[in-house]
Amino acid sequence: MSALKDLSVKNHRVLVRCDFNVPLGNGAITDDRRITEALPTIKYLLDQGASVVLCSHLGRPKGVTPEFTLAPVAKRLSELLNQNVALLPDCVGPEVEAACHALQPGQVVLLENVRFHPEEEKNDSAFAKALASLADAYVNDAFGTAHRAHASTAGVADYLPSAAGFLIGKEIEFLGKAVHAPERPFVAIMGGSKVKDKIALIDNLLPKVDKLIIGGGMAYTFLKAQGKEIGKSLLDETSIEYAGQLLRDNPEKILIPSDFVVAPEFSPTSPATIVSADQIPADQMGLDIGPETRKAFAAVIETAGTVLWNGPVGVFEMDAFAEGTKSVAQAMSNCKGLTIVGGGDSAAAVEKFGFADSMSHVSTGGGASLEFLEGKELPGIAALGKVSQ
């Protein structure tokens, strides 16, 4: 992977693929972390005398869709950079090309949503070449889409000298350290709904961790594998045998909940009760870990040298079932070791509970961080450095 500081950028136009796929509410940005995370790369390029052409996708538009315009991002970038960041009307075409070629060192523009063109997700070579024609060099800083081989995340690198931005470098540094050189004890926390979605991750991490904590919807499949009643709780039937084998092969390494918060319905107003793992009623469903489990998990997390968290341990979006996930975030904030949140819902949880700034690293990638931790090659990173300067 080519590093940004090795790329010649002075008096050059640099196309930077960012991940500005930010959450919006009524047309306004509700969380700008993905924008602020891109600032170090953008500011470095400007300081080095480059002009900067930013590009990104937003949402999953079907053709040109006004609700997915990057206009709110251009507005926020203008505020953060303290200079005008114009939003161009498209991401390719004569008008866009003329605007980019007219840029002076120190200026920034933002292309309109690259996914307004179906050629983007198809990694169409002509579309990638059109994007490349806007600049003299290419920087990928969009870790959140690095697992996608799209035109703006991989194809462009066929035509321009390229390098990884500082955000991608930071992601690889932290996630790579957890996978390849963790301080011990190394604790991984796996949550989310289905075991089958995490099999590749578990298989890659289990030989490396000292403790694997299982929570969320996944936990009930592990209980079922032990022959326990799980009521109406989420069950991944295809993974019962897998979960059972894991427990038999790793009795000291895997930690599963000993009590749960259960309710008759999946609803924020459903009456909640606490039961042990052996006493989930047949007409109830588990929606969070219980207080004894929270204490047990926290004791392991707080004394860890490295903690990697991927997936909430309860339905944290509902206040009645949020305490378990909140307690994991709290325990990680109390840990003096390296604390890494693997993007997606876990990142949303630490933001919600106000612990994001006390983590060593909160990944900006959901699927990308998952695939990296599974040991897979990410196309958006593998593509960099193909063309020499």
231 is catalytic: no
Distances (CA, A) of 111 to 52, 98, 107, 388: 11, 13, 13, 25
Active site (annotated) includes residue 34 = yes
Catalytic residue among 43, 122, 129, 194: 194
Place of tokens 């590093």: 3
Q: Which of the residues 34, 115, 148, 294 is marked catalytic?
A: 34
Q: Could you give the count of Cα atoms lying within 13 Å of 198 in the half-sphere of its Cβ? A: 29
194 labelled catalytic: yes
Q: Answer yes or no: are the C-beta atoms of 9 and 49 closer than 8 Å.
A: yes
Q: Which residue in the list 344, 365, 366, 380 is annotated as catalytic?
A: 344
Q: Where are the alpha helices (DSSP H) in the chain?
A: 33-36, 39-47, 71-81, 94-101, 125-132, 166-180, 199-205, 218-225, 240-249, 291-302, 323-334, 344-352, 367-373, 379-382
Nearest to 141 by CA among 10, 15, 23, 24: 15
Q: Which of 59, 106, 244, 367 is catalytic?
A: 367
Torsion of CA 176, 354, 43, 365, to 10 degrees: 40
Distance CA 23, CA 25 (A): 7
121 close to 84: Cβ distance less than 8 angstroms? no
Q: Residue 42 has which token pair?
A: 């953008």
Instruction: Tell me which residue of 374, 368, 314, 376 sits closest to 343, measured CA to CA.
Output: 368
Q: Could you tell me which of 41, 48, 39 has the C-alpha nearest to residue 82?
A: 39
Cβ-based neighbour number of residue 101 at 10 Å: 12
Locus of tokens 């070579």: 125
Phi-psi region of 343 (alpha: psi -120 to 50; beta: other; left: phi over 0): left
Q: By the 8 A CB rule, do 233 and 285 touch?
A: yes
Take residue 351 and report the two structure tokens written for it: 């933001």
- Give the Cα separation of 104 and 106 in Å (integer): 6
The residue assigned the tokens 């709110």 is 72
Q: Which residues are tagged catalytic? A: 34, 194, 344, 367
